[in-house]
């Protein structure tokens, strides 16, 4: 089996297919700022109303928000898989003979309660005390919860793709979106079993499996996915995760900024502020989360780092737990540049390819090089001239 280098782990591991020699020019990627998420599930409803409102799809929430630590759709999905994996082992390395990836098929009752644990918190009621966090002094909430939006990661090492015996799942050349060919699929459910994020789902009406489509009809038109454009919490930014600092002007349009995309900056720059969910699975997921800064870093280390003792990748800090703390601080106290990028979240339906952050203003350009965001850091205060105006009419 070919080996592939996984930068999220900082090492090579096996994967059934050879990667292309060069990274794609353009790859679907997403940033989610968990701190802004309010669990309204508008993203979930947006996705469902767009893609899975048909027969046999009643239980399917391609996009869902779970309340950590009590939520889980399907129930207990991550706990179970984490328990089955040896430390430092990807699902590909842990696969049993004859299979491509370790996993399990969630049962019907596991899918039954998409809102299980919704809004619940974990910890002891602070009788006679308070709950507070103070990052400078390593203090975090000892009673906590946070909201974890979950969706298909359009992984660079997709387990669903690896596992499909019919090769009915593929990665699109132009944008990296992982699709499941509805005509070719025969419903073996190997993808359902192997995806550690449990996003391929079986449709008992049609007899074939389905998986999230990354809103490709929207991406093709230069718009962001529904879960991003619908996000009233402004938690999300979508774009070209592969566009690095050396990239030129989009579409050769010199009036647009050259250089990296805003999602690339948050996920891959030296000021990295967003991390992948369970990188230890080895699938190279392309949704990156800005971690909740009030939550104890031990838990987040398990969730957002390779969770090995030896730190091999390029994340900040000498240990993974330290990396988490540094990133938490970057999210709680963002630099001016990061704060500028945060203004791009939810500002436009258009897919932002490049951007600039100036002292008082943030701008963004789409893939054609057209300016699609031009936004001040502050709403400009307006005071109407004339004595008859009142703020309370």
Partner 1 sequence: MTLSRRDFMAAAGTGAVGALIGITWGATQTVDSVTQVDNPLTSYPNRDWEQVYHDIYAYDEVDWTVCHPNCTQSCALNFYMKDGVPIRAEQVYHNEEPSVGPSGYEDAGVSQHWNPRGCMKGLTVHRRTFEPTRIKYPMVRKGWSPDDPNPEGRGEDEFERVSWSEAIDLLAEKMANLEDTQHFHVFNAIKADGLFTRHGSARRLASIFGGCEWTEYDWYADLPPGHVMTTGYQTSDADASAWRQADYTIIQGKNLIHNKLADNHWFQESRERGGTIVGVYPDYSPTVQKCDRWLPIRPGSDPALPLGIAHVIIDEERYDEEFMRSYTSLPLLVREDDGKYLRAHDVFEDAEPPDHGIDGEHGHHVEGDWGEFVVLGEDGDLHRVSREEVGEETPVTPRLEDETEVTLTDGSAVSIRTDFARQKETILNDYSPSKVAEITTIPAEKLRQTAREFATAEKAQWFTGEGINHWFHGASECQRGIFLVQAMLGNIGERGCGYYNYSGQYKIELLDGYPTYVNPDGHSARGMYPGHALAFFGGERLDPHAIHGDYDRELELVAHEDSDEPVLPEGTESYTMKKPEILWTMNCNLLNQTKHQEHVIENFVKPPETANELLVVSDMHMTYSARHADIVFPVHSWLECEYPDITVGPENPFVQMDHGVMDPIYDTKQDGEIVARVAEKLDEKIPPEERNVNSYREYFAEFLAEDGDVRTYIQEAFDSGITTRDIDVEDLENGPERLQLKTYPRIPFYSQIHEDRPFYTKTGRMEFHKEEDRFLELNRDDIQHFESPEGTPYGRGKTWKEGGDETNELYEDGYRFHYNTPHPKYRTHSSWGMTDWNLIWSARDFGSTNADPEGTERLVDDFSFPQGDGETEDVPPLGEAFVEMHPNDAEDIGVKNGDYVKITGDRGDLVIRVLVSERQRPSDAGDIGQLTIWHGWWEQQFPDEDETSDVVGYNVATNIWLDPLLETDDVVHKPTFGDPNVSDIVDEDVSWHGAAFAQGYEEQVWAPTGVERDTLVKVEKYEEADWRPGDARKDELFQDYVSGSIQEGDS
Site for partner 1 in 174-193 (CB under 8 A): 179, 181-184, 186-189
Count other C-beta atoms under 10 Å from residue 347's C-beta: 16
Whose tokens are 């500028």? That residue is 340
Residues 6+ apart with CB under 8 A from 213: 51, 177, 179
Q: Are 363 and 304 in contact (CB under 8 A)?
A: no
What distance in Å separates the CA atoms of residue 341 and residue 334, rounded to the nearest whole number?
10
Binding to partner 1 (CB under 8 A) within 18-57 occurs at: 18-20, 35-36, 38-42, 44-46, 48-51, 53-56
| Residue 94 interacts with partner 1 (CB under 8 A): yes or no | no
Nearer to partner 1 among residue 166 and residue 245 (C-beta): 166
The DSSP call for residue 43 is H
To partner 1, the closest distance from the beta carbon of 356 in angstroms equals 15
Nearer to partner 1 among residue 5 and residue 245 (C-beta): 5
Kindly indicate which of the ranges 92-100, 230-238, 245-253, 351-359 contains the residues binding partner 1, using the contact rule CB under 8 A: 230-238
What distance in Å separates the CA atoms of residue 249 and residue 18, rounded to the nearest whole number?
30
Whose tokens are 């939520």? That residue is 71
Give the rounded distance of the alpha carbon of 128 from its chain centre.
Answer: 38
| Residue 348 interacts with partner 1 (CB under 8 A): yes or no | yes
To partner 1, the closest distance from the beta carbon of 282 in angstroms equals 14
What distance in Å separates the CA atoms of residue 267 and residue 289, rounded to the nearest whole number?
9
| The total number of residues written for the chain in this structure | 393
| Residue 319 interacts with partner 1 (CB under 8 A): yes or no | no
Q: Are 275 and 61 in contact (CB under 8 A)?
A: no
Interface residue with partner 1, options 96, 97, 130, 246 (CB under 8 A): 130
The DSSP call for residue 111 is G
Binding to partner 1 (CB under 8 A) within 50-79 occurs at: 50-51, 53-56, 58-59, 69-70, 72, 75-76, 78-79
Interface residue with partner 1, options 3, 5, 23, 123 (CB under 8 A): 123
Binding to partner 1 (CB under 8 A) within 131-160 occurs at: 131-134, 141, 143-147, 158
| Residue 255 interacts with partner 1 (CB under 8 A): yes or no | no
| Residue 383 interacts with partner 1 (CB under 8 A): yes or no | yes
Kindly indicate which of the ranges 96-104, 241-249, 265-273, 293-301 contains the residues binding partner 1, using the contact rule CB under 8 A: 293-301
The phi and psi torsions of 201 (rounded to 5 degrees) equal -135, 145
């Amino acid at each position: 089996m070919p080996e592939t280098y996984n930068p999220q782990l900082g090492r090579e591991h096996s994967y059934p297919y050879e990667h292309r020699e060069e990274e794609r020019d353009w790859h679907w990627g997403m940033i989610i700022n968990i701190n802004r998420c309010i669990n309204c599930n508008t993203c979930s409803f947006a996705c469902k109303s767009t893609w899975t409102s048909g027969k046999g799809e009643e239980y399917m929430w391609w996009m869902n928000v779970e309340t950590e630590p009590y939520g889980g759709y399907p129930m207990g999905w991550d706990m179970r898989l984490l328990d089955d994996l040896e430390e430092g082992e990807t699902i590909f390395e842990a696969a049993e003979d004859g299979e491509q990836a370790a996993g399990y098929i969630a049962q019907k009752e596991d899918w039954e309660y998409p809102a299980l644990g919704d809004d619940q918190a974990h910890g002891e009621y602070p009788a006679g005390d308070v709950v507070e966090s103070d990052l400078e002094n390593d203090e975090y909430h000892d009673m906590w919860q946070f909201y974890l939006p979950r969706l298909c990661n359009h992984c660079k090492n997709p387990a669903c793709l690896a596992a499909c015996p019919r090769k009915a799942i593929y990665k699109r050349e132009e944008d990296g979106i992982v699709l499941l060919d509805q005509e070719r699929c025969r419903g073996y459910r190997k993808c359902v079993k192997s995806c550690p994020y449990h996003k391929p789902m079986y449709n008992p009406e049609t007899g074939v499996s389905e998986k999230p489509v990354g809103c490709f009809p929207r991406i093709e038109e230069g718009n962001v996915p529904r879960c991003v454009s619908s996000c009233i919490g402004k938690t999300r930014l979508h774009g070209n995760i592969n566009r690095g600092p050396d990239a030129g002007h989009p579409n050769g349009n010199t009036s647009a900024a050259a250089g990296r995309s805003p999602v690339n900056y948050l996920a891959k720059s030296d000021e990295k502020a967003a991390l992948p969910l369970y990188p230890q699975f080895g699938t190279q997921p392309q949704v990156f989360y800005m971690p909740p800064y009030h939550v104890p870093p031990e838990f987040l280390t398990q969730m957002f780092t390779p969770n090995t003792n030896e730190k091999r990748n390029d994340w900040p800090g000498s240990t993974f737990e330290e990396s988490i703390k540094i990133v938490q601080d970057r999210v709680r106290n963002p630099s001016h540049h990061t704060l500028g990028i945060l203004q791009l979240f939810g500002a436009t339906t258009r897919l932002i390819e490049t951007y600039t952050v100036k002292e008082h203003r943030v701008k963004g350009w789409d893939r054609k090089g057209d300016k699609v965001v031009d936004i001040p850091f502050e709403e400009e205060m307006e005071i109407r001239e004339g004595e008859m105006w009142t703020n309370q009419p």
